[in-house]
Structure 1
Amino acid sequence: MSTSVLQWNLFLLVSSRKEFFYMDIELPASLKLTLSIVNSIPIIISMFGFLGNGKVIHLLGFHIEKNPFTTCTLNLSIADFGVFTSFLHTIGYIDQVDTIVYIYLLVTYFFLFMYNTGQYLLTAISMERCVSVIFPLWHRCHRPPHFSTLVCATIWITSFLLTVICIIIVIFRVTTKPLFYLLLMNAILCLPLMTVSTLVLFIKVCFRSQQRNKGKALTAILLALLFFLFLAFPFTFYVSYCYYFPHLHSLMLIGFGCSSVNSSINPIIYFLVGRRGRKSPSRVSMRAAISRVFKDVGDCTEDKKSRTESKVMI
């Protein structure tokens, strides 16, 4: 998106020139008009993302029974919600660029924090589902009861610390490429894990012959992974490419646009997968659809509890 390109230019300038903080930036009127027109598209996408992820957060937080899958998905929706917060905040201040350089930098790093958190959470979700598919008995019997909460807390803390380290590096001018190195590290760590998990879940979803009603959670995760691989990971590539070819701003437009679409697609996936299989899908509410998506994970948890209770009785 164009506002994000402006953020990118500010980030590069501040990373390389300390005196930029004391400079006045004045955009031409024609450029401001162009930015305002182009920004109408991301505003619409961001509003849909706000509403969709906000609804998912409300349902998973207050109306749907908790299980390990809902805990991770709730945190993922919060991260996506934060991505749209940074988008809308940037768009709202586009006419005041000459006075709020610091705000733009803070919004840039807030976006980075939320984007990385969502990426780590989706990687953790995919790995856990992959383990549950390959080793179902071990996963049911030996998985710690509060493992999802611990993983989510660790991911939030790790992502926050990495963002703080990037800010410190920029302030002390240790290197002009902290964002590049962070995104490169994310790609090296997360891309192989996501790819393997996607292949395993794809095989499981496509070749399962039984338990058709039990595969909604796997289908939702598989679709979320596919969209992330095709929409969000190009953002990492475009950012890395623009470090060496900063004049190619169109790549940044594509990268931030894809990231915006990816953050708004998950609620749609949950709704469409949840309503599938109903005789009257048009009458299915979002609450009922999302409940069906997460029900099979809840059933696994209930099976584990019932087995434990039966062992105690014996």
Structure 2
Amino acid sequence: MEATVFDLTGAPAEYAMPAVRPTLEEAQAWCRHLATSHYENFHVATWFLPKRIRPYFESIYAFSRTADDLGDEVADKDTATRLLTTWEQMLDECYEAPERSVHPVFVALRKTIDETQVPKQLFADLIHAFLQDQLMTHYESMEGLLGYSKLSANPVGRLVLWVSGYHDEERALLSDKVCTALQLINFWQDVVEDWERGRRYLPIAEMQRFGVVDCLIAERRFTPEFAAMMTYLAGYAGEMLKQGGAVSGTVDRELGVTLKLFVKGGEAALGGIVAQGYDVLRARPSVSKMTKMKLLGGALAGKLAGAVFGAGTRG
């Protein structure tokens, strides 16, 4: 059966369609390279997972990273929309006629689908979030921002749980809180960068409530009003992260270590905002190397403890 011809013209060069279909081993290597070269924290976190399921995570990351870049790294919105629509069509093909898939992402992803039966909708939601980015650059309320995070962030956590063998809604809802909180924290860190890209994820309702206007962001002018707003927003995300963090205690020890590492990373990012006096306009708050080393040391200790004392809860 001949492969369907999909047009990825205009995409970043690294995501171009290959001339021939790669083998599964080649496709998985491509995904692994993408994961390890684009996002160090993801690579580090997956090291704490059982080796047999790391390829699942790498294929999921490759799918998400590529979709994100098709929407975010392509300047022309019409081109980005076309590319994302094509990416969704390729996802459909991966589920409906996988023998036709040629792109390494979908060759590797099909292996994950076959072995875990992961629902297509979780991947489709991510694409819809990136399509939404082409149309919406400002949000009126926190509810609107939470709706966006339901598409852009929450599917990632649900995918992680699913391919690890956890399919219940109770754990998924806790994961949603973690993922949404991490998304919000990222927005609070990137206020200036997002503004320069023509986007603002600070909800208008919260800005009006605290007396903050757009010109403060444009001029990078930090005021008591802006500080009060950021104090509230950071607390909001922190409480959500705390509530969702309980999910790490409901899964096997190795996955729990990875989930806890992401939660601790979010807490550290919030700590960076607080340490900067909530002035995210002066510079992007960051996590120190020493803090990162402590996080990794704690995660390593947790993994070693798992190896000695056995796995935790699963079901």
- TM-score, structure 1 normalization: 0.27
Instruction: Indicate the structure (1 or 2) with the bigger Cα radius of gyration.
Output: 1
* Greater length-normalized contact order (CA 8 Å, ≥ 6 residues apart): 1
TM-score (norm 2): 0.27
